[in-house]
Amino acid sequence: METSFIKALSEIVGEQHTLSDPESLACYGYDSTPELQSRPGAVVLPGTAEEISKVLALCNGAGVRVTPRGSGTNLSGGSISFDAGVVLQTSRMNRILEIDEENLTATVETGVITSTLHREVEAKGLFYPPDPGSMNISTMGGNVAENSGGLRGLKYGVTDDYVMGLKTILADGEVLKTGGKVVKDVAGYNLNQLLVSSEGTLGIFTEVTVKLIPKPQAKKTMLVHFPQLEQAALTVSHIIAARIIPATLEFLDRTTIKCVEDYAHVGLPLDVDAVLLIEVDGHPAQVEEDAAGIRDICERHHCSFFQTAASPEEALKLATARRVALSALARVRPTTILEDATVPRSCIAPMVKLIQDTAKKYDLLIGTFGHAGDGNLHPTCLTDERNPDEIRRAHLAFGEIFEATIAMGGTITGEHGVGVAKKKYLPKLVGESGLRVMRGIKGAFDPRGILNPGKIF
């Protein structure tokens, strides 16, 4: 990138917040996505919305491309600049501006860490449910851009169920204010919802207003083992059919169970097909009733083990297996490819079976865990980037898995975003008309195409 342009950037955000040395560029050339890397031309860390606006106006004028980045935990290459453009990191904008206890909303700057917001609102007896796996480091702006999900998705929904208002800087530096604190708002197109999961291609958020709900009074955690996968899957469907909506309904498959046991020695049996971690929350009486109902359903489906936590400490212990699942898998081989194929809940059993068969077919080690309640699975391929043949087979396997996902009426990504990693699967999912509409929207927001180009489609 030209020195004069870098100088112009530094005049906006300050010299210490403008990086262009090779070491910094190397470190901003990746996010959490395996295999993908590309160095940007410069990195800026603006401290205010005004600075973001000026940076975008400058870049738009010069035709320089901009990729927004929170903490760089994206899993689809969304926060990597593939054309030596500017990476714009929002972490410095990290103030919680307001927790409005009358309207039950919180307004935060874009760089606020998700779990920081959790802590602050929970201290006031309120609740912001979206809890992506990276919540201890992911930013709110990033969560909105990717429409992050999490463990509590089944009962409480995902990020877009909570976004009420946004302040966004458009490609030319103009400010766009959408939504606000009102529950009902039908004035024009619902731009709020359009901006959620736009993956940094339509604008850069500077402020986010989210809905809060009362914090559930009680919680109960259960751990169940199933010798047969089909029985575990049926249990999931029957719990929902019994009108019980658990806050968490998580699943581990046989490969994951073995890796977890090898790593954490939590006492999981190696001869079961599936482990479910179930959590119900709400009014104490309702929680008791739901837990009893779940126990009954699990027993009718021949679970081999059922335990209810008697204390918060015990609940934490029961949740260990699920909590350490990714760690346990990631330690097995140097490279971990974590996917998020999502199917309708009723297809969990055939999907898990298909993943296992595909792994066998391509001679790969794939452990599957995830959010069984909402059909969002994480088939995780344990491989080694130094082995090109195995990596090639992994890509072939995931290709087949995504094809099957689409055939079952599911989606190629439940919560990680399309980015560049899933780009080639999108046309099949949304069709030519879907792509045409998306391109039209992109053109309306960003006519010169400077915002995170090459992502999604």
Residues that bind another protein (CB under 8 A): 19, 21-24, 26-28, 30-34, 45, 71-73, 89, 91-92, 113, 134, 136-137, 324, 326-327, 330-331, 334-336, 385-386
Least distance in Å: CB of 446 to another protein?
26
At position 154, the amino acid (one-letter code) is: L
Least distance in Å: CB of 71 to another protein?
6
* R_g over Cα of the chain: 22
Q: Which is nearer to another protein, 257 or 408 (CB)?
A: 257
Least distance in Å: CB of 39 to another protein?
9
Least distance in Å: CB of 74 to another protein?
9
Q: Which is nearer to another protein, 66 or 164 (CB)?
A: 66
Task: Give Cβ neighbours of residue 19 (< 8 Å, ≥ 6 apart).
Answer: 25, 28, 42, 43, 44, 45
Q: Which is nearer to another protein, 92 or 353 (CB)?
A: 92
Task: Give Cβ neighbours of residue 344 (< 8 Å, ≥ 6 apart).
Answer: 375, 408, 409, 410
Q: Which is nearer to another protein, 60 or 74 (CB)?
A: 74
Least distance in Å: CB of 199 to another protein?
18
* Burial tier of 314 (Cβ tally within 10 Å: 0-12, 13-18, 19+): middle
Q: Which is nearer to another protein, 134 or 413 (CB)?
A: 134
Q: Which is nearer to another protein, 12 or 354 (CB)?
A: 12
Q: How many CA atoms lie within 13 A of 92 on its CB side?
A: 15
Least distance in Å: CB of 327 to another protein?
4
Least distance in Å: CB of 283 to another protein?
30
Q: Which is nearer to another protein, 307 or 327 (CB)?
A: 327
Least distance in Å: CB of 9 to another protein?
16
Q: Which is nearer to another protein, 121 or 232 (CB)?
A: 121
The CA distance from 142 to 165, in Å, is: 15
Q: Which is nearer to another protein, 151 or 408 (CB)?
A: 151
Least distance in Å: CB of 21 to another protein?
5
Q: Which is nearer to another protein, 139 or 231 (CB)?
A: 139
Q: Which is nearer to another protein, 324 or 438 (CB)?
A: 324
Least distance in Å: CB of 228 to another protein?
29
Q: What is the 3-state secondary structure (H, E, C) of the chain?
A: CCHHHHHHHHHHHCHHHEECCHHHHHHCCCCCCCCCCCCCCEEECCCCHHHHHHHHHHHHHHCCCEEEECCCCCCCCCCCCCCCCEEEECCCCCCEEEEECCCCEEEEECCCEHHHHHHHHHCCCEECCCCCCCCCCCEHHHHHHHCCCCCCHHHHCCHHHCEEEEEEECCCCCEEEEECCCCCCCCCCCHHHHHCCCCCCCCEEEEEEEECEECCCEEEEEEEEECCHHHHHHHHHHHHHCCCCCCEEEEEEHHHHHHHHHHHCCCCCCCCCEEEEEEEEECHHHHHHHHHHHHHHHHHCCCCEEEECCCHHHHHHHCHHHHCHHHHHHCCCCEEEECCCECCHHHHHHHHHHHHHHHHHCCCEEEEEEEHHHCEEEEEEEECCCCHHHHHHHHHHHHHHHHHHHHCCCECCCCCCCCCCCHHHHHHHHHHHHHHHHHHHHHHHCCCCCECCCCCC
Least distance in Å: CB of 133 to another protein?
9
